[in-house]
Amino acid sequence: MQDHNVQANAPSPFSPLTIGPLTLRNRFIKSATNEGMSPGGVPSKQLAKFHGDIAAGGVGMTTLAYCAVSPDGCTLPNQIVLDRESLAHLRVLTDTVHRHGAAASAQITHGGCFTFLQPQQSARPLSASGGFNKVGILSGMFRKQAMTEADMHRVADEFVRGARLAREAGFDAVELHMGHGYLLSQFISPLYNKRRDPYGGSLDNRLRFPSLVLRRVLDAVGKELAVVCKFSITEGVRSGHTAEDGAAIARILEREGAHLLVLSAGMNVESATTMFGSSFPKENRVTVRNPIVAAGLFIQGLIEPKVAFHELYLLEHARKVRAAVKMPLAYLGGAKSLAGIDNLMGEGFDAVALGRVLIAEHDYVNKLQSGVSRDSICTACNRCVAMMYTPGGTSCVLGQPGDPQLNSQGAAT
């Protein structure tokens, strides 16, 4: 285990960082957070403004959350699908980000059985294994379908097509989402993957399909774009994989050639508090109109344990990954002060991914660099998550809500 004391030669978080073919101006990355700013699946003017404001606020790179690689890859209505129809709107977003000196990353993913939409290409939602679909309790799709090898190659092709479209739209990086219970995570997770063929059983086998997707995307765009993988170090639930497994996953992804790993944790259904590091409030200033989402939030509030936030809540787990690999790592999980960020640099992490902090203060990085601020105003109350379902999209309840009018217009219109 590496020394947890601060390294004497730790880099400044404001220094450049090279990941694959991409060099960032600093080590701050806006993590992917679903923004609710793509009505009809089209990136809105509000979405372009949101990421442009965060770029102007000083980050090295901002990540556009959940760009589905196919219509069947969506989990909810109004999510972006990487297709020709969204291309011009995505180009407005990347141009806006670049104008402010930051890089733009597209998180490309597929929801698998974690979806509330009826699939078009199969009778049931696809997953690593078939059988009962617990997510389907809310949507009426009570069964899921195990993917065949033909399904896997078709979906891998969709990831490649999505990555190429992201490159065409002006993105500098793509992030493959391998965590939180989406499709690639469903193969990695022992909770979801019960296969008895070469794609199930051992961790190496469970990583076989996600590794295939990673290799295919690297072959397609890896010379021009940074190829990032986001995964759950620990699933935070009994019978799920542990941080020791997370370190082994990182070694496999390093071996396969990923340029950067974003270290998250938890699962959307089973362990959201592991992901966010704090409980969701029962009282909320937001009325969620989607009845399925409202029911999900209510049930989550009943079953999730009460967890009080503390800064750097995933550090103990992330250290195990840092000790296991030499490749660049982005720490994600409750960094909200300059002292905490300097601590992460000292522990050997190469970048810091920020979510709620940058929703609360788009210019937090500039404030840190200028010395205006050291601590974020973010209280980790998690109300910004429910704000995603308001007409203006995601915002912090301590600030101004998003503009519903801008959020109703496509970015390129």
CA–CA gap between residue 354 and residue 14 (Å, rounded): 14
**C-beta separation of 10 from 342 below 8 A:** yes
**C-beta separation of 407 from 391 below 8 A:** yes
Q: Which letter, b or e, does each residue of 360-395 get, where b requires 16 or more Cβ atoms within 10 Å of its Cβ? A: bbbbbbebbbeeebeebebebbbbbbbbbbbebbbb
Element (H or E) spanning 23, and its range?
strand 22-24
Q: Residue 263: beta bridge partners?
A: 231, 331
Secondary structure of the chain: what % helix, strand, coil (to 5)? 35, 15, 45
Catalytic residue among 182, 192, 331, 389: 182
- Which residue blocks in 181-309 are alpha helix, DSSP H? 183-188, 203-206, 208-221, 243-256, 272-276, 291-303
Q: What is the largest CA-CA distance in the chain?
A: 57
**C-beta separation of 20 from 260 below 8 A:** yes
β-bridge pairing 61-68 and 103-109: parallel
**C-beta separation of 180 from 267 below 8 A:** yes
Token digits of residue 310 = 């503390």
- DSSP secondary structure string for all residues of 313-367: TTHHHHHHHHHH--S-EEEES---BHHHHHHHHHTT-SEEEESHHHHH-TTHHHH
> Which residue from 138, 104, 107 is spatially nearest to 33, judged by alpha carbons?
107
Decide: helix, strand or coil at residue 63: strand
In the residue annotation, 182 being an active-site residue is answered as: yes
**C-beta separation of 69 from 155 below 8 A:** yes
Residues 115, 119, 123, 127, CA torsion sign:
negative
Q: Which residue type sits at 141? A: M
Catalytic positions, please?
Answer: 182
